[in-house]
Structure formats: C-alpha cells, structure tokens
Structure 1
Amino acid sequence: MSEHAFSEAERLALYRAIAERRDMRHFIGGQVEPQVMARLLKAAHQAPSVGLMQPWRFIRITEPALRQGIRDLVEQERLSTAEALNERSDQFMHLKVEGVLDCAELWVAALMDGREAHIFGRRTLPEMDLASLACAIQNLWLAARAEGLGMGWVSLFDPAALAELLAMPEGAKPLAVLCLGPVEAFYPAPMLVLEEWAEEKPLEQMIFENRWGTAP
C-alpha cells in the first residue's frame, strides 16, 4: 500500500460516502448551520478544474418568491418532459423530481461568463468547463452526505429562463438547481431504481481494453 494512503477508517468513510450518496427528492425542512454550509462550499471550491479556471458560481436562493419562481420553471419543464416521453409520460408524472419548496437550502450552480477566454485544456474540448463544474457539484454532494444532509440535483428547467430570472450576465449558464438539507432517511438505492424507472448497469459493461467494445 502507498505510504500516502489514508488510514483504513478514513478510506472506509470515503468509500461509504461515495456508495451512499443519493439524488434526494424528499426533504423535511429544517436548516443547515452556517458553519456546515461553509464547509460544503469550501469542498465544492476545492474541486479540480481544467486550466484552474474555476468556472463555478453558486447562487443561494433566500427569497421565497424567487424559490417559487424556480419551482414554476421546473414544473413547466416537467410537463414538457412528460409530453416528450410519450408512452412513459404517466409513469414519469408519478415520480417526485424535485424538492425545491421543501429543502432547507436552495442553490443554483452555474457556469461563469467569459469562459471563452480560457483556452488551456479547452481548445479542443470546450465542454471541460462543464466537467469542472460537475466535479464541484460532486464534491458538494459527497461532503453533504458525510454531514448527514441530503442533496438533489434538479436539471428540469430552461437554462435561458433561469438565467433571466437570476439576472445572470450574458454568457453565464445555470447547470443545476441544488436542493440541500435534512432528510428523514436516505434512499437504500437510487430513487429511479426503487421506482422501477431504470436499472443500474454493472461496472463490467463499462470497462474496455485497448479498443472500444473489447472486454479486458
């Protein structure tokens, strides 16, 4: 084992947070202590980013009317998604897809404006800014789980409409509505598995060797 490895207890805690992280939709109100929220945001800010561009911006939503406006945008997209799903629309409409009005903390994670100025690592893969923000969100998610808090990533919204609602500058783009806070319990498996919407695929199907489709 590497001399730089964490202790066994620390490693087990890390892998537990990864395994038990859930995309939560059911919240019980309450609050997140400021010092805990500060730790979560610091964890997000410590994420890797291509060219150290740190493209993430986090907007805390504290105005009730603004929270309701975000909920309305999510509901609009939920109905549009159901229509696009055709034969699965009824099943989809029975899923709980957000906890915007129920969670203790509501945040919007967005890509900053002016990203075109950052070329390092993005000349051929400009979407690496999005990948960097996703890493920050994952850090926040895992830290929240370690703190005993649930988090849900809501992507059902029109980015342009949400950007306008939050007075974002041209070029900035919201990627996630993040519901965060206390939960009664964590799902024992991903909610979409429990609701029989989808099945998890085994890791073995994701691993190739040397060429696409060639099993190790």
Structure 2
Amino acid sequence: MDDAFTLAEREALYKAIFSRRDVRGQFTPDPVPDDVLGRILRAAHHAPSVGFMQPWNFLLVTDPAVKERIHADFATANAEAADRFDGDRRVLYSRLKLEGIREAPVNLLVTCDRERCGPVVLGRTHMPTMDLYSCVCAVQNLWLAARAEGVGVGWVSILHESALKAILGVPDRIVPIAYLCLGYVSHFETTPDLERQGWRQRVALEELVYRDRWGDSDPVFGAPSPD
C-alpha cells in the first residue's frame, strides 16, 4: 500500500508515544518558533472529532502578566489540594513540581465549544460528552507532535475553572479542557515524574485487559485466571 508506514516511521511514532512526558520543571527560556508552533497546532486540529464538529479552540498565552494571574490561581488551588491529603502523602505532595506556568514560553488553553454544530450532532445523540472527548484527542495529537518537535508539554489541572475563564475572558458557553505549558526543555525524563518520585507506579497492562465481558481475563493480553 502506498500509504503504509515504513519501519522507521512506525518506530518514530512509538518513540513519540513512549517518550512523551508531562513536563513541569525543565523548561528553557528559548522561544518556540511560529512555524513549529503552527505545526503542533495543525496536528491538534487534525484530531478525530464526533460528527466532524471540530469543537476546539486554542488560546495562546504569552503575556507574563497574564501568566502571573494564572499562576496565582494555581497557588491557591494547589494549597487547597494539599489539604485533601494526609500524613506522608501530604508531605510528598508538597514536594512535587506540578506546573511550569511562568517558566514555559507559551501557555495554551484548549477549549470545547459544545454549541458549534447546534443541538443535534451526528454521533453525539446518545453520548453527549463525545465532543469533550474529541477535544482530549486534540490534546493528545498536540502532545505527540510537540514531543516529535522536541517541545515539552505540561498539563496543569490544578486551577479553578471560573478563575481561568475570568482571567482569559472565555465565554460562559465554552468549556476549558486543558491548560498546557509548552516550551523547549533541557531534557526529557526517562520515566514519568510521579512514578520516579514514588507517587504512583505504572499498572501492568495484563491487569487491565478483558475480553467479551467485564472481568473476564483475555487469553492473550490479560492476567492468568486464578485457580
């Protein structure tokens, strides 16, 4: 097939997937050129979407004053989040670097316009949240493209949605999906931050795969059935 991937192309795709990281602390001040940023955004815009509604928008944030306001809300939300953990977990949480809002040259808000194609959308008639999931697909496309370009991405979810919308002037009907920090980095870690710092370990794939019915182990990829 003319559209088949070569071995090198397949390996490059898997390299991007397996080496993608949520970057928080190793951004450099080097600017991301417009052509690189354009390619990354174009990759996001080519994500699959329910009913081809393309419900996303991309709001770029580069003004240091705006970043400071976003960071101030993060600091408040992060303190609230820390209070939800107890003992050693709270101590470890307090040590984690969970954002790069001020350090990253570019911040980006990905949003969902749930009214873009009117009240009835092909494919969303029985699963109305499919437009939200479509925007998450755009985020993943963006993340993999950024990794291929050598650009780090960090997803900041510890924010108050109401504050985020107020700071950035986002209309009421628009749903924030992901607040991302983008920039070149000094290095990409070989393992995820939370795994490396002892917060969580990756679950074995075999524990997560069923076949035909929930809980029924898959004979090829699933864990062996208990005796």
TM, length-normalised to structure 2: 0.90
TM, length-normalised to structure 1: 0.95
Unaligned runs of 5+ in 2: 219-227
Matches within 5 A, 1:35-46: 35-46=35-46
Query: Is the 1:53–1:118 Cα contact (8 Å) retained in structure 2?
Result: no
Shift of 1:5: 2.3
Distance in structure 2 (CA, Å) of the matches to 1:127 and 1:135: 13
Structure-2 residue corresponding to 1:143: 145
Query: Is the 2:62–2:105 Cα contact (8 Å) retained in structure 1?
Result: no
Does residue 11 (structure 1) correspond to residue 13 (structure 2)? The answer is no
Over 3 Å counting, the alpha-carbon distance change for 1:125 and 1:113 in structure 2 is closer
- How many residues are matched? 215
Distance in structure 2 (CA, Å) of the matches to 1:66 and 1:113: 26
Shift of 1:119: 2.9
Query: Is the 2:114–2:131 Cα contact (8 Å) retained in structure 1?
Result: no
Distance in structure 2 (CA, Å) of the matches to 1:173 and 1:5: 37
Measured against aligned partners, the alpha-carbon deviations of 1:162-215 in whole angstroms (never above 9, x if no partner) come to 111111112112121111111111011011000100010011111101110111
Shift of 1:86: 2.6
Structure-2 residue corresponding to 1:99: 100
Moved over 4 A (4+): none
Which has more radius of gyration? Answer: 2
Q: Give me the identity figure in percent.
A: 41
3-state SS of paired residue (1:84)? coil
Does residue 86 (structure 1) correspond to residue 82 (structure 2)? The answer is no
3-state SS of paired residue (2:68)? helix
RMSD of equivalent CA atoms = 1.4
Unaligned runs of 5+ in 1: none
Shift of 1:102: 0.4
Query: Which residue type is aligned with residue 44 of structure 1?
Result: A
Structure-1 residue corresponding to 2:73: 73
